[in-house]
Structure 1
Amino acid sequence: MRQTRRAAMRVFLLAAAGLLTGCDSFGPDRLRGTHPLYNEAIVGSMNEQFVHNVVRLHYRDPAFFLDVANVTATLKLDMSAGLDQSEIGLNGGSDLIKYSLGAAYTTSPTISYTPLQGEGFVKSLLSPISIETLFSLSGSGWSAKRVFGICVERINGIENAPSASGPTPARAPKPDREFRRLVDLAEEVSREHLIVPQVNPATKEPELHVLSTPAYRDRIAEFKALLGLDPAREVYRVTSDFTKAGPDTISIRTRSLMSIFFYLSQHVDAPKAHETAGLVTVTRNPDGTQFDWGSTPAGNVFHVRQSDDPPDMAFLAVPYRGHWFYLADNDLESKSTFMLLMQLFRLQAGAAKSVGPTLTIPVR
């Protein structure tokens, strides 16, 4: 009987040791399992927040931004073990020893949100995008057509729908054929590295080197003519002061981050019932017909669609005012512009500190 007990005890101890050994990888294994899920959930919620704010601006509803300040997850491992002895047979002829082992884990995630507000954040939203940022983005792989199409309001007097930098205007913006032609030319010659932004080592001011080759002579000449530049020069000053435009200077007035949000919000499809009810502004051409915001440089590369039911082919979809608004998953232009918007937000507003109370939500 004692031998039976000893054998049972050895089996119990070996099983317990095996269970404890398996716990050595509990933490790393759970990290590998949960990290991608938290990452996906946070990215998804932040993306939806941006689309929500674009739609809100289309309805002239206030935009608001929350930032994920902290994510904590507590993992708890509970273990149990036991022995149970009972006698069977007559006169206590033998013993039956039972052992039990158990383990269970629980996770308690907590997410903290912080409102993005305060003077620093507001200034970052309202400050124009710097010319250096424009050149950095276009030089890092983003197309000049996309960057200049949404970030630039006017260049040497050529306008890109400046009235779209705020709430939806009732009147259509002036025709932008010259601006669209300008960015098309810039996109084309930039692929050949004929437009090179640099910084003057003496003045520390940005400059633009506009080079030429026999194959692109006509397009370079047209580019300079549109901007009113001296065709004999190759180096031009670049400034954000629109009063200093001249034959040797390129004056670029950029949009602020908030103006870019407004500009992109113009190409949001709204239900006809909402237009009839006056919930959104319908922009009209001089002849009274409805203006097509999809014809603008920003509208060409960004479009928020609308559906009465949850859409099937959606990259991002948010419910608002009883309808669904979404970016189509096969609309690669809109998805690319959305990525650029996220990058601009991080560059422009990422340095601003969050101010205000923190909302902490335990996730069950």
Structure 2
Amino acid sequence: MKAVIKRLQFFTATLVLTACNSFGPDSLRGTHPLYNDAIVGSMNEQLVLNIVRLHYRDPMFFLDVASVTASMKLDMSAGLDQSEVGLNGGSDLIKYSLGAAYSTSPTISYAPLQGEGFVKSVLSPIPIQAVFSLSGSGWNARRVFGLCVERINGLENAPSASGPTPRLAPNQNWQFNRLLELVEEVSGKQVISPRVDPETKEMQLEIKNSEEFADRIHEIKDLLGLDQNLEIYHINSDFIKSRSDTLSIRTRSLTSIFFYLSHHVHTPQSHKTAGLVTVTRNRDGSEFDWGTTPAGSLFEIRQSEDQPDLAFLAIPYRGHWFYLADNDLESKSTFMLLMQLFRLQAGTAKSQGPTLTIPVQ
């Protein structure tokens, strides 16, 4: 009898030690992807929500996940129960019991992104170097310049779209669209590339006179008013002086990009009738189609009365659902670029103000 009990005790101890040994790593593998997915999903929904808010002239607000902590607890119990069987106690019956309980208590802390550092980062123009770095790192040049550049050598990319929805349609500059088409055609061909002057440390742009792309290069320089005989051009943001050896580029700020994208939100007709949004109109009074702007063909947020089935992201707002369609790859790509720009500009800003801590049951 004693030998049996010892064996059971040894088995129980071994089981407990084995469970404790695998509990930590196994729980990490099981919970880390879930927390990662939840945080990424909530941040994505927050960006879409803020774009929709701007469409309705509602203020933006950002919460950052400051920390995620989770305490995990494993309780195990084991027992033996001996009882006699038979009228004369001729035999013994041993009952063995083993129980285990696993619980986790996550706590999530949120902090608002605000303060002087954050405001400066979202209101400052995207650095020109960052724009060229993005286009040179695999991002489509048409997408990067169509979203981030507001003006280049007099060619406008809907500058009035950088704020709340305007009542009058922006000037449609077909030349800017044509420039984006040409740049996209020669991108990746080592024809156009930024460089830094080794002596002055000034940023410059090299546009090579390639025989293969001679017609496209000639048209690019002609649209920008550049000297056809040069290959190296200065870069600045000064629009007061126009020079044939200089590219004057004005980039959008992160806030301006959010405003620009907010004009590409589909609006329920009832909301237009109620005056909840500004309807941009052409000179003849007809409704302007924001899909004709450089960013319009690259991004749109759709709306539905019911929760959509095929949605990459969907948020409820003002009695309707606003969403990015899962099969709209252009909009999803532009949204990925927006996420990268947000991290680039606002990623270094620290959370300010009180922290909201929520224990998750």
User: Aligned pair 1:352/2:353, yes or no?
Assistant: no
**Within 5 A, what are the aligned runs for 1:172-211?**
172-211=169-208
Kindly provide the CA deviation profile for residues 1-27 of structure 1, in whole angstroms up to 9, marking residues without a partner as x.
Answer: xxx243234234323323422331111
Kindly provide the CA deviation profile for residues 76-105 of structure 1, in whole angstroms up to 9, marking residues without a partner as x.
Answer: 010111122222223433322222111111
Letter in 1 for 2:157: N
Q: What residue is the counterpart of 2:304 in the other structure?
A: 307
In 2, distance between residues paired with 1:94 and 1:46? 66
User: Aligned pair 1:56/2:53, yes or no?
Assistant: yes
Q: Go from structure 1 to structure 2 and tell me whether the alpha carbon gap of 1:203 and 1:245 turns closer, same or farther (over 3 Å shift).
A: farther
Confirm or deny: 8 A CA contact 2:12 2:78 kept in the other structure: no
User: Aligned pair 1:118/2:115, yes or no?
Assistant: yes
- Alpha-carbon offset, residue 273 of structure 1: 0.3
Secondary structure, aligned partner of 2:212: helix
In 1, distance between residues paired with 2:89 and 2:156? 101
Q: What residue is the counterpart of 1:327 in the other structure?
A: 324
Secondary structure, aligned partner of 2:72: strand
Q: What residue is the counterpart of 2:74 in the other structure?
A: 77
In 2, distance between residues paired with 1:83 and 1:330? 60
In 1, distance between residues paired with 2:18 and 2:213? 70
Confirm or deny: 8 A CA contact 1:12 1:99 kept in the other structure: no
TM-score (norm 1): 0.97
In 2, distance between residues paired with 1:103 and 1:147? 55
Confirm or deny: 8 A CA contact 2:16 2:76 kept in the other structure: no
User: Aligned pair 1:92/2:84, yes or no?
Assistant: no
Secondary structure, aligned partner of 1:172: coil
Kindly provide the CA deviation profile for residues 225-278 of structure 1, in whole angstroms up to 9, marking residues without a partner as x.
Answer: 111111111100000222243101000000000000000010100100000100
- Unpaired stretches in structure 1, ≥5 consecutive residues: none
- Alpha-carbon offset, residue 30 of structure 1: 1.1
Confirm or deny: 8 A CA contact 2:107 2:358 kept in the other structure: yes
Q: Using the TM superposition, name which of 163-172 and 82-91 deviates more.
A: 82-91
Confirm or deny: 8 A CA contact 2:281 2:287 kept in the other structure: yes
In 2, distance between residues paired with 1:102 and 1:120? 54
- Alpha-carbon offset, residue 69 of structure 1: 0.8
**Within 5 A, what are the aligned runs for 1:21-36?**
21-36=18-33
Kindly provide the CA deviation profile for residues 300-332 of structure 1, in whole angstroms up to 9, marking residues without a partner as x.
Answer: 100000001011111110000000000011111
Secondary structure, aligned partner of 2:73: strand
Amino-acid identity (%): 71
In 1, distance between residues paired with 2:125 and 2:11? 69
User: Aligned pair 1:65/2:62, yes or no?
Assistant: yes
In 1, distance between residues paired with 2:254 and 2:220? 27
In 2, distance between residues paired with 1:363 and 1:244? 59
Kindly provide the CA deviation profile for residues 161-210 of structure 1, in whole angstroms up to 9, marking residues without a partner as x.
Answer: 00000000000000120100111111112231210101111221110000
Confirm or deny: 8 A CA contact 1:195 1:210 kept in the other structure: yes
Q: What residue is the counterpart of 1:278 in the other structure?
A: 275
Secondary structure, aligned partner of 2:240: helix
In 2, distance between residues paired with 1:53 and 1:101? 52
Kindly provide the CA deviation profile for residues 42-82 of structure 1, in whole angstroms up to 9, marking residues without a partner as x.
Answer: 11000000000000000000010111111111110101111
Secondary structure, aligned partner of 2:213: helix
Confirm or deny: 8 A CA contact 1:70 1:112 kept in the other structure: yes
Letter in 2 for 1:177: W
